[in-house]
């Protein structure tokens, strides 16, 4: 999508670029809507993998701390 947008060069480069005020959108066809649905499913699956991976990592860290500290009776007071 970045290929369709202007870029900011600002005062550092000494140039001014044309930046359109209206956005770009896709045509409302069945093929494009199908691709959007596929993309949203992909994003949902990708996010779910990240969340589940973080939960599993946190759980394993807690279990490791318990396994190392419990035999020595070093437990948190509060």
Residues contacting 69, CB < 8 A, separation 6+ = 75
Predicted model pTM = 0.56
In a domain, 46, yes or no: yes
Q: How many domains does the chain have?
A: 1
Specify the pLDDT at position 53: 97
Q: Which two tokens stand for residue 45?
A: 């699956």
Over residues 16-62, the pLDDT tens digits come to: 666 666 777 888 899 999 999 999 999 999 999 999 999 999 999 99
User: Taking the CA of residue 30 as centre, how many other CA atoms within 13 Å lie in the half-sphere pointing to its CB?
Assistant: 0
Place of tokens 């699956």: 45
In a domain, 28, yes or no: yes
In a domain, 7, yes or no: no
In a domain, 44, yes or no: yes
In a domain, 41, yes or no: yes
Domain that holds residue 43: 15-69
In a domain, 32, yes or no: yes
């Amino acid at each position: 999508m970045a290929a369709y947008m202007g870029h900011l060069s600002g005062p550092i480069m000494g140039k001014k670029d044309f930046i359109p005020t209206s956005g770009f959108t896709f045509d409302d066809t069945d093929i494009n809507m199908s691709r959007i649905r596929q993309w949203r499913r992909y994003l949902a699956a990708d996010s779910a993998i990240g969340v589940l991976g973080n939960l599993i990592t946190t759980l394993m860290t807690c279990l490791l701390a318990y396994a190392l500290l419990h035999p020595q009776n070093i437990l948190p007071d509060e």
